[in-house]
Amino acid sequence: MADFGRLAAQLLAAVLAMLATGSAVAQVRFDNWIYYQRNTDDSTRWQYRPRFYVPLDLGSGWTFTQRVDLPLYYTDRTGSENPGGEWKAGIGDWYAEESLTTPELARATRATLGVRFVFPTGGLSPFGSGQYQWAPSAGLSYTAAELNMTLAPLARYFMSYHANEAGAGQVRRLDLYPQLTKRFDGGWALGFWIENGISYNKVSEKWFVPVDVMLIKRMRKDLEFMLGGAYGMVRDDPQYLTQIYGRVTLYF
C-alpha cells in the first residue's frame, strides 16, 4: 500500500510542479471537502477530501485540466479492513483525472473528454475497492446567459483492470451527472447532481438514484464556500442513505 501512497504523492507533486510552468497555467483551484455519510446499514463515515484542479490554457479555446483527489476516511462500517465494525481511520482510493475541454462547438456549448485512473490505496472495504480502475468520460456544457444557468451533463464509466487484493470484486459502473447550475446575484448559485451522480452497476444490474443539491457562495475572487446534501431515492444498488457535505475552495 505504501507504494500506491508514494505514487499518489508523486501525482500531487506533479500537479504542484505545474504551478511553476508559467503563463500556460490558468486559475488553480484547491478544494477542502468534508462529508458526513449515513449508510443503509446504519453505519456512518466521515471523510476529508483535498481536491486539486490545475487547468492549462492550450490556446485557441482548448483547455487541459489535471485533477487529483486524495480521500481520507473515518468510519465504523464493517468490511475486510474493519471486520469488527469499530471506528477506524484510513485512506481511500486516490485518483487522478485528465480532461480536455474543446472550444465552442456551437453558441455557448463546449465538450469535455476525460479519463480517470483510480489507485487501490485504500485496500479493501470499507476504505477501497482493491482494484486498479480506469474511467473514460464525456460531457457537454451549455450556458444560457439570459437565464444565468449552465447545463453540463456528463457520463463516466468505471472499469477495473487489475485486482490488487484477494477477494476484490469486478468493477463495471456507469455514473451519470445531469449537472444543472443556476446563478443568482451576490455570488450565490444553486447546483444539482454535481457531486453525487446517478449510477448503474453493470455487475449487479441495479441502479442507485440520489437527489443531490448544493448551495454555493463566491465570497471573492479567490474564495468560495459550499454546503450540500444528497439522499438516495432508489437504492437497489445501495451506496448510502444520506450525505451532508461542504467545502472551502481557494483559487490561485
Task: Print the domain residue range for 114.
Answer: 2-18+57-220+230-238
Rounded Cα–Cα distance for residues 140 and 48 (Å): 29
Q: Does residue 120 lie within any of the structural domains?
A: yes
User: How is residue 32 written as a grid cell?
Assistant: 477542502
User: How is residue 139 written as a grid cell?
Assistant: 460531457
Q: Does residue 27 lie within any of the structural domains?
A: no
Q: What is the pLDDT of residue 23?
A: 46
Q: What is the pTM of this model?
A: 0.89
Mean pLDDT of 65-81: 97
3 state SS of 32: strand
User: Does position 22 have pLDDT exceeding 50, yes or no?
Assistant: no
- Closest Cα partner for 199 from 178, 216, 213, 224? 178
For 140, other C-beta atoms within 10 Å of its C-beta total 16
Residue 252: beta bridge partners? none
**pLDDT (tens digit per residue) in 176-209:** 999 999 999 999 999 999 999 999 999 999 999 9
Q: Does residue 66 lie within any of the structural domains?
A: yes
Q: Does residue 26 lie within any of the structural domains?
A: no
3 state SS of 7: helix
Please identify which residue in the block is written with the cell numbers 468520460.
137
**pLDDT (tens digit per residue) in 24-47:** 777 999 999 999 999 999 999 999
Q: Does residue 190 lie within any of the structural domains?
A: yes
96 burial type by CB count under 10 A (0-12 exposed, 13-18 middle, 19+ buried) = buried
Q: What is the pLDDT of residue 9?
A: 54
For 205, other C-beta atoms within 10 Å of its C-beta total 10
Q: Does residue 126 lie within any of the structural domains?
A: yes
Q: What is the mean pLDDT of the chain?
A: 93
163-to-49, 167, 176 alpha-carbon distances in Å: 24, 8, 25
Q: Does residue 158 lie within any of the structural domains?
A: yes
> How many domains is the chain built from?
1
Please identify which residue in the block is written with the cell numbers 469499530.
86
User: Does position 160 have pLDDT exceeding 90, yes or no?
Assistant: yes
Q: Look at the chain and count its residues.
A: 252
Q: Does residue 142 lie within any of the structural domains?
A: yes
Angle ∠(97,50,184) on CA atoms, nearest 5: 90
